[in-house]
Amino acid sequence: MRFPIVIEPGDEQHAFGVVVPDLPGCFSAGDTLDDAIDNAKEAIELWLEETIDSGGAIPEPRSIAEHQSNPEYSGWIWAIVAIDLSELSDKVERVNITLPARVLRRIDAAAKAAGESRSGFIARRTLQEDLHLG
């Protein structure tokens, strides 16, 4: 999926500001134009992950031409950021992992206590940990 971004030019005292017009509240910045584009990609991925995790719909990106009529972005720089949605997919995948038996017993006991399957328990705890780190 390709998302248009609009970049407010920076200077020696100000970072380049980035807005993703198709994703409400998604913005970023960078000290250089290249940093701004790289940081925009990260911001878009985080926005999409949060939307997917909360059960929201991913808006279809519009063309740059459609956005250019917005006077708010007059004089700003336009670019496209490509996002591989397969990296954010919730498609179930079967994996084979190796764990020490004592660790597996602890996981199974915790999953049972939570009323979850082993896979569901591991997935939920991983997502919770992600939220704490973010």
Q: Options 2.40.50.140, 3.30.930.10, 3.40.50.720, 3.30.160.250; which CATH number does 2-88 get?
A: 3.30.160.250
Identity at 126, one-letter amino acid code = T
Cα four-point dihedral sign 90, 1, 52, 48: positive
Element at 33 (helix H, strand E): helix 33-53
- The tokens describing 32, both together, are 């250089």
Question: Can you tell me the distance from the alpha carbon of 5 to that of 70, in angstroms, rounded to the nearest whole number?
Answer: 13
Residue pLDDT, tens place only, 60-110:
999 999 999 999 999 999 999 999 887 776 667 788 899 999 999 999 999
At residue 91, the pLDDT reads 67
At residue 124, the pLDDT reads 81
In this prediction, residue 16 has a pLDDT band, given cuts at 50, 70 and 90, of very high
